[in-house]
Structure formats: C-alpha cells, structure tokens
Structure 1
C-alpha cells in the first residue's frame, strides 16, 4: 500500500539568503533558501495529485511534527480519510478503496469494518509518511544532489503572494517549484510534467495548529485482531 510521492522531488531548498535581493540570487540559492524554510516547518497542508505508472494518488492532508494529521488520500477511484493523534494513526477507506486494494478479502473487510476507523499498523509507511511533517518534506524535497540543476524563472502572483519559479532537472525528470519572494521563503507549489511521478502539489497553512481528536474506542477496528 505504498504511496510514493518522492518523485515530485524538488530539493527546493538549505542556506540563508544573505543581504542581496532574493530574486537576484541564482536558482540553486533560491531553492536552497526554500528548502531551509520547509525543513523548519512545524506543520503544513499538502494538497494535489501525483501519477505513478499510470496510477493517480490524490493528497489533501494537514500534518505536523508531533504525529498529528488529518485529511484524505485517494488512490485510483477510492479514497481513505486519514487521522493521526500523537503518533497513533487510523484510516477510514470508502468501499471503492477496499475493493481496489483488499483483494479476495475485500467483501469480508467491508463487512467487518463498516464505517469505523481502522488502525494503521506500525511499520506501514504508506500512510505514516503523511503524518510526520519532517518525513514528508524529506520525501518531497529529495533530489539527486550534485546531479540536479536549477534554473531561475519569472516572478508571478500566486493567490496574492509573489512567488518566483525555479526549474529543477535531475534523473527523475523536470519539476518547477514556486517559492515565496518574501521571507520565510516557503515552497508553495510544485508542478512536474516530465519524468517519474508527474503531478502538481500545493503547500499552505504553514505552522498552523492541526486540530484533531482521536476516534472513540467503539469506532476503531484493528484488522490484525480479525485475522484467523
């Protein structure tokens, strides 16, 4: 059930900006500044979609550094709600999700789970990666190191904020990151049209509280307890 989104990698971002005007810096310097800002986040909302080997994954998740998250993950035609509280993680798939991913046991699982939340077991990285802002940024901002090149583009208005475009080319393809001109230089959007894992992802609600509450005990199902 892995949901890789690392292919959007834009290592968009490490060093301080210095005293020069931000947009006068090189594409790599702008990307490094944005990477530093994103790595310093306490929380963020990530929304968008990524297509890998013809399969689309849709993302709409707010997550923080304390194991809290809320939102949804869509795979194909199915969707699963996601909820994390202090490191405990649950998901609630719709019937289509179960039928697409449950195999021969789909009918049995649907009957057993109903409208309850399902415990995400330890070690299930497919969902867990969305419930830790640090891990998620590591996935998204990964690049090929010295093999990556950055080219600065134009400044444009994105939802009322000035952002500068930076193209990143590496072995995984070409992506464009849109980075806020004003400090902190957050990455607000990535678009990837060439190479592996194409799609578009936006970032918002920087450092805002993730308001979550654990499900009641009678609304939780542990599938491992149903085995056998």
Structure 2
C-alpha cells in the first residue's frame, strides 16, 4: 500500500488562506461582482474554506439623504460617475475594509486595513472564532483563538487528535509565515493594495448599464448611489420568464472630496454582503509580534497527537 500523505501542513495552509479569501473575496462577496473578479488564489481558497455562522445582516441600502448643493455629479451619467469612482479609489495609498461577506452561504466578518507598502493588519470572525492577521516586510503573522483554529481545521477534515495538538502548539502565539514557505504564496496578495484595486478596472464593460439611485449618506458623508441589477438566466422564446431574485449591487460614491467608493451592498444571488471602505490615505500601523510569541509554520510538523 502506498504511504498516505501527511495532511497537516496542507490543512494548516488552507486555514491560513482563509484571510486571503476574505480580503480579496470582499470584492465578489460584498458587491464588486460586475466591477471586479477575485484573484485565482482567493478563488481556490474560497472553495476550500467552509464555515457555519449566523445569517448575514446589514445588507440594506444606505438611508436616503439630501444631495449636496451643487451636486458634483450633476452633469454625469451613472456610468461616468462609476468611472470617476474607480479612478479615485485606485489612487488611494491606504484604506480600511469592514463588513460581512458571504460565499457559498458561509458568512465571514472582516475588519482590515491595508496600504500600498504591502502592509496590513486586521481580523476575521468565522463560526464564533476570531483570528488576527498582520503582514510587514513580506512576513505574515496570524493568531487565532481556539474556536477559530478548531472550526478552520475541522471544516477540512483534520483528525481530532491532530487538531488538539496543533491548537496546543499555537495557543497564545502567532503563526509566522515567511516568503517561500508553504502557505506564503496564497497569502502574498492579501496586502497588495495595488493589485486589489487594479481588479476594479479589470473589465470596464462589466460596470456599464448602471442607474443612479436616491442620494444618501454613509457615516455622515453625502454619497451618490449607483445601482446595477443582474438576473441569471433570462427569457427566451417559448419559455417561462426567469423569476430568479435579481442580483442587485448598490455602490455609494462620496460626493465630498475625492469620489471614493464608501460602501458596497449586494442583495440577492448567492453571495450577499455589505462592505464599508473608509480611512482612505490614513497611516496603517502594523505591530510585528515579538519573536518569543511566534511559531514558525515549519514547527507545525512537531504538533503530533499524544
């Protein structure tokens, strides 16, 4: 009989790629579908990650509010406003993403700040567990509580004894992943702000056909709302019209200062969610954990069941 492959490193790699799926998947899960496409690594990670949590919340559009006078977008079509929003957002040197996204019916809560120097810091919640992630100098640090690690590893079929041993090794410590180590490739794009924002303009034609909804406010900032509805399927001659719930994306664009994207809400379809974008161009401070509080990912091979 051929020897069985030890699943430990692979399983922990998948667990660590959860954050990659969350950050890059914010585009697909929170309403950027039609404006962007998630990177292949994030797509692969998203397929591997399975977490059960509460039903998504806060997927309502922002409350209506008076538009500023004069309206900075008065002479622009919705598509032209979108063009300006993408250009402005891509010029950002840093930003914060927070909210809830859903992939394959599995909710993930994130709060993440990233800059154009490949630095980031934030946290993710899944199935009652929480994990923090930091990246600086191309080194990734990840610290999860027991619920997070157990949910992540259990969802991948890792043996219970192995899970217990690994959790014991990681208890109160940061998992350290350096370039070239297993898992580093999947996480390499997490803090690449330029690549994340480049996806906004990957296919400009996908964001055509927008309509302008009622003006509103996002955290007391006046915004223009851009709406796109997309229904899978459609109608064909001699067939029953498709009654699938429309996949609706609402993008809120700041009417004050640069026309940054401030909020994205997606309803309907299989990946609803809400994402707030804030703290544009503000410093992102990443605190590197002390060496005595870290565990190199190579040490996971030492996590053996008792």
- When normalised by structure 1's length, the TM-score is 0.86
Q: Quote the offset at 1:24 in angstroms.
A: 3.0
Q: 1:62 aligns with which of 103, 113, 126?
A: 113
Note the residue ranges of structure 1 that are not aligned, 5 or more in a row: 14-19
What residue is the counterpart of 2:123 in the other structure? 72
What residue is the counterpart of 1:108 in the other structure? 165
Moved more, 79-88 or 144-153: 144-153
Q: Quote the offset at 1:37 in angstroms.
A: 0.9
Note the residue ranges of structure 2 that are not aligned, 5 or more in a row: 1-16, 37-70, 178-182, 233-246
Question: 2:232 aligned with 1:181, yes or no?
Answer: no
Contact conserved, 2:134 with 2:141, CA < 8 A, in 1?
A: yes
More strand by share: 1
Superimposed CA distance per residue, residues 86-144 of structure 1 (whole angstroms, 9 cap, x where no aligned partner): 3221110111111111222321111111111112441123xx444222233345x3776
Contact conserved, 1:75 with 1:97, CA < 8 A, in 2?
A: yes
Q: Quote the offset at 1:55 in angstroms.
A: 0.7
Q: 2:217 aligns with which of 145, 150, 157?
A: 157
- When normalised by structure 2's length, the TM-score is 0.65
Superimposed CA distance per residue, residues 139-178 of structure 1 (whole angstroms, 9 cap, x where no aligned partner): 5x37764344211112122222110000134578321000
Contact conserved, 2:34 with 2:206, CA < 8 A, in 1?
A: no
| 1:21–1:45 distance in 2 versus 1, CA, 3 Å | closer
What residue is the counterpart of 1:119 in the other structure? 176
Where 1:118 maps in the other structure, the secondary structure is: strand
For 1:152 and 1:143, how far apart are their aligned partners in 2? 22
What residue is the counterpart of 1:51 in the other structure? 102
Q: Quote the offset at 1:53 in angstroms.
A: 1.3
> Larger Cα Rg: Structure 1 or Structure 2?
2
What residue is the counterpart of 1:93 in the other structure? 144
How do 1:181-200 and structure 2 match up within 5 A?
181-200=255-274
Contact conserved, 2:145 with 2:171, CA < 8 A, in 1?
A: no
For 1:12 and 1:65, how far apart are their aligned partners in 2? 21
Q: What is the RMSD computed on CA atoms of the aligned residues?
A: 2.4
For 1:195 and 1:131, how far apart are their aligned partners in 2? 28
What residue is the counterpart of 1:16 in the other structure? none
Contact conserved, 2:95 with 2:278, CA < 8 A, in 1?
A: yes
Q: Quote the offset at 1:51 in angstroms.
A: 1.1
Q: Quote the offset at 1:185 in angstroms.
A: 0.3
Moved more, 156-165 or 46-55: 156-165
For 1:142 and 1:51, how far apart are their aligned partners in 2? 23
Q: 1:166 aligns with which of 217, 222, 226?
A: 226
